[in-house]
Structure 1
């Protein structure tokens, strides 16, 4: 993608070492998705010296291709994954408090189809979902009469009853960036567009060669290596570390489509297909509906993942089963796909449905020589817990005895009503937005709201010393001013239009002409 030529300050602002010297660190993390960024944050906050390298942009693959939910995983109850669901439900509350600007409550409606399980059984499952973990921020579930509920209006008349429950929505790509910012604030070195090309293991050290987009070579000497490469975890072990994977990874492609909004209310939908798969229809970016996801085995190039016609037809067909107004592939204005690396037990049959493979994670710690930790699997909701467990595992080996800390710390921008995570920041976020709109009355209210939801309290850093629209610089695209571009390049590793328009924001969606 082309860089913003008038505002590109990548070389000036990028977090880079002196290329003529070798980097020494406690921990080298390969992979800049949610797990790598989360581990970097936790480890740096405990006083470990950390270098993280990512061959592309932060969250440029799986971590920006989720359904954008912070949830317990209601459907995992059907697979008796009670431990995973409980862990995720606990994290749902923790994350909402820590990042109320990019994570917010979302109410879901599940229409009851005659072909599904009996209504009483679904209700019982939701009761369990409500009570598996302590819940303070979200209302519980209940049955609804769709003919008398706002969510029933777009549905076919044959759907008369359903269920409502709560989970959370997240800006997944920004979640990764905020973890990386926090890691950097705690002393970590974050290197984007920097591939780890070779690693050599000795008895007590790792020697790695990194190669960046500027055709520069960086040598890193680390006490411990963390493989957080997601879908590439097994191949990185085989190709770079020359070790056995230890866990069998099953690569599952999940694809989503975006269409012009199909309803005018704030509820999201959860639909269950007769094949057992779940598809969501979620309000998205004010004017759109996000629909997904598919679950199919993937055997192609993990750098070139894209939706196919069959997946689009599948999603359209399922949505059309429920909504009165049908959609077709011609209605799709944008789509995205990602590959989830799921851990497959040795006893599992390869013919098992992709949707039934566990979303839990495994940490493989090899201390036969210089320590190596490999992260297998995981889901975005449990990334913080995964990171905490990972650092708990490696810290003693590095003679570090600082305790876990991230459960009681806000992510950057989340300190809206105090430095510690709190309930008020979640429940009164709309009040915070209104206060900012008054404080920055010289900006359009809708723009201030977008800034508030993207940057939280860091809006003050972005708008420092600015007091008029003229101070924002050129409007490069509708709603995108030079001031924001400069902020993203200086503070968030953005280097090109794709970084800014599709990961740091979703402004690219609003530039699409349909």
Structure 2
């Protein structure tokens, strides 16, 4: 198998780079040892944000870059990303008002905004976001960022890369990569043990937390950077408030946590910053992290959040560039792209990064690698839709991404009134304009096949297997969707049986804790 570039790693950076390079006419093979987004890229706080707290660490360049990307991303996929307003209750014992206002002023003005409104000060005694809070919190600050379905963002990048000619190989390890003067000779092994030889003109190491290990053990290169592996854990509890705002809470340890509306019936609380010392692919929340998140949330909410309230957890390992910071939360979230052409065929390693800046990272990676391969095609992704993001066939010319989605959902209801509202809304969010691939010629619920679990017909499972690399129930229930959070154990088992009968797969490991 021959290609221009072999990419190792099926997280957001690897899939973003595959998409960009494929769109510039290069032949791409991407291999991922597990499922797409199975590890770090499905374990984020699921925000498209500039990183307000990074201003305190003087990371103005990173914040500006991330702020510039927010609206680019919101416009590219209005079905999986949307604006979100955040409320910061003021705790006078922590940061003073002037400091918060100065930070929000910078946040409002470091990058141009067309969709997201500016920050403001609110009276929490009258604002709906004040209702679930303790009475002591009377003043708050409201600002804008965005929400993203992180795992679906990875899949959409992979779909776009594949549509442009890339080969996406999941459950496939790169066990060996040998560098020559004109190319790389790599050996890939899939989950069933089948071996495949790949000849590539260049290699991209986008293995995330495994990047340093991959270079040393499989690509036989000396690593030049050190990664600091920091675990971020989240808890999910039953819904703590009814309004659409999210919260950002300041903590006495100078960190922050978020409390975010999640999956309709829940609230997502996170994240922690803990040094991860165990196996990279086996990150799990511990009791201390659960207690920490509950304690910090309970400082603000009138109704305490207790460990027994937790219905689900997930944890991921962030591969951060080691900048010698003593505090894990102070380690930079910026990225570094390292192109090495001195030892033969080009090798590009991706160090660090955050989900908000993935598109810019991919564009810069392609700008670096392209000339080394004799390709000088300019970047193209800034104004491009991700798969399903172009809703014009349903609503005409786009206007505002958040309003465009609501018009799309209304039009979907008009065209297919027989779709159950909850499932229609979920499909609209997950698949956008690609929803027609699920509906096909169906004229009623019976045409979608058996309902394998509540709200999950066979037509959707068939689509996910056929189009989106789903090979196990976990792929469907915890990454392509979060249906696992809403289903009872017997219902999740029904999905497992269907997938086993359909595929007889060899299941990969979870990065997320199954719901009790």
Q: Partner of 1:305: helix, strand, or coil?
A: coil
2:304 equivalent to 1:329: no
2:159 equivalent to 1:181: yes
Aligned to 2:444: 468
Structure 1 contact 251–340 (Cα < 8 Å) conserved? yes
Alignment of 1:167-316 (within 5 A): 167-316=145-294
Match of 2:415 among 418, 439, 443: 439
TM-score, normalised on structure 1? Answer: 0.93
> How many angstroms apart in 2 are the aligned matches of 1:401 and 1:336?
41
Q: Partner of 1:363: helix, strand, or coil?
A: strand
2:335 equivalent to 1:387: no
Unpaired runs of 5+ in structure 1?
1-22
2:63 equivalent to 1:85: yes
Deviation at 1:426, TM superposition (A): 3.1
Structure 1 contact 291–315 (Cα < 8 Å) conserved? yes
Deviation at 1:214, TM superposition (A): 2.5
Aligned to 2:456: 480
Q: Partner of 1:177: helix, strand, or coil?
A: helix
2:337 equivalent to 1:363: yes
Structure 1: 4+ residue segments shifted above 6 A: 418-421
2:294 equivalent to 1:320: no
| 1:111-139 CA-partner distances (Å, limit 9, x unpaired) | 00121211122011101100100000111
> How many angstroms apart in 1 are the aligned matches of 2:292 and 2:399?
39
> How many angstroms apart in 2 are the aligned matches of 1:507 and 1:116?
39
> How many angstroms apart in 1 are the aligned matches of 2:129 and 2:223?
46
> How many angstroms apart in 2 are the aligned matches of 1:223 and 1:465?
44
Deviation at 1:422, TM superposition (A): 4.9
> How many angstroms apart in 1 are the aligned matches of 2:340 and 2:393?
41
Deviation at 1:290, TM superposition (A): 0.2
| 1:309-356 CA-partner distances (Å, limit 9, x unpaired) | 0000000000000001012111110000000000123xx25xx11111
Aligned to 1:507: 483
Unpaired runs of 5+ in structure 2?
490-515
Q: Partner of 1:511: helix, strand, or coil?
A: coil
2:347 equivalent to 1:372: yes
TM-score, normalised on structure 2? Answer: 0.93
Structure 2 contact 78–404 (Cα < 8 Å) conserved? no
> How many angstroms apart in 2 are the aligned matches of 1:365 and 1:451?
40
> How many angstroms apart in 2 are the aligned matches of 1:391 and 1:123?
38
> How many angstroms apart in 1 are the aligned matches of 2:397 and 2:179?
40
Change (3 A) 1:119 1:260: same
Alignment of 1:109-120 (within 5 A): 109-120=87-98
